[in-house]
Amino acid sequence: MTNLIRFSPTSDMRRLQREIDQVFDTFFPTRNGDNGSESAVWSPRVDLSETDDLYLIHLDLPGLRKEDVEINFQDGQLTVSGERRLEETEEQHKYVRVERSYGKFFRSFTLPKLVNADKIQATFEHGELTIRVPKAEESKPRRIEVS
């Protein structure tokens, strides 16, 4: 009997990305808060944007609650970490396919020195974490009048 396998270049690329991430995680373990050295199992997708007044960081964290996420800022490093747990049920499921990532996640961002760290805000809504990092007054663009 002949098996047909659907060609999917995106799934092949995702598999390759996971394999490369695993190699890098072996050589460059991540740090997660005060718990010592722990490797991230997956990384949430991120969008970064900038306005004249602030930096915006959007992380996709579907299936998580705000209690599952920890945000730290120290020495110019903004770190977002947490864990997505697989729901345990009394019934034993025999999974045919699992594409969602579970376990610890970790993302770290090096921010410019001229940010107002005391005013960093984070909101979590509909599985999206939004972090607003205000720029310090010195770093904002100024208009200079020509005399």
15-34 pLDDT, tens per residue? 788 788 777 666 655 444 44
Question: How many CB atoms are located within 10 Å of the residue 129 CB?
Answer: 22
Local confidence band at 78 (pLDDT 50, 70, 90 cut-offs): very high
| Residue 132, pLDDT score | 97
Q: Which residues contact 77 (CB under 8 A, 6 or more apart)?
A: 108, 109, 110, 111
pTM, two decimal places: 0.66
Which range marks the domain in which residue 52 is found? 9-86+100-138
- Residue that wins the pLDDT comparison between 83 and 17: 83
Does residue 94 form part of some domain? Answer: no
Does residue 93 form part of some domain? Answer: no
Does residue 45 form part of some domain? Answer: yes
CA angle at 128 for the pair 123 and 130, rounded to the nearest 5°: 40
Q: Are 133 and 111 in contact (CB under 8 A)?
A: yes
